[in-house]
Amino acid sequence: MNKILSQGLLPFVRLIRWPNLIIIIITQYLLRHAIVGRIYEAAGLTPAMSSFLFAVLVAATVLIAAAGYVINDYFDLRTDA
């Protein structure tokens, strides 16, 4: 199990920069619930996007960001070396 973590999972987790992805998730949920949700609530409106669709949007954003980090690391190999 430790071999799997050290050779496969941990380098991958570092590659996708998981702390940045967590910040993206927190930012999107805080923006929706703390700001946009309160504006809708004050206006007596309901959001057009359901919670499930919002979760799909957040997942898509996180996957795109992770892919961008991987692509950036690939093309910066010479620069970073």
Q: Is the predicted pLDDT of residue 81 greater than 70, yes or no?
A: no
CA nearest 63: which of 10, 25, 7?
A: 25
CA distance 16 to 18: 6
Kindly list the domain boundaries of the chain, sorted by start residue: 16-80
CA distances from 47 to 12, 32, 36, 41, 44 (A): 36, 10, 9, 9, 10
What is the reported pTM?
Answer: 0.83
Instruction: Give pLDDT tens digits for 23-80.
Output: 999 999 999 999 999 999 999 999 999 999 999 999 999 999 999 999 999 998 877 7
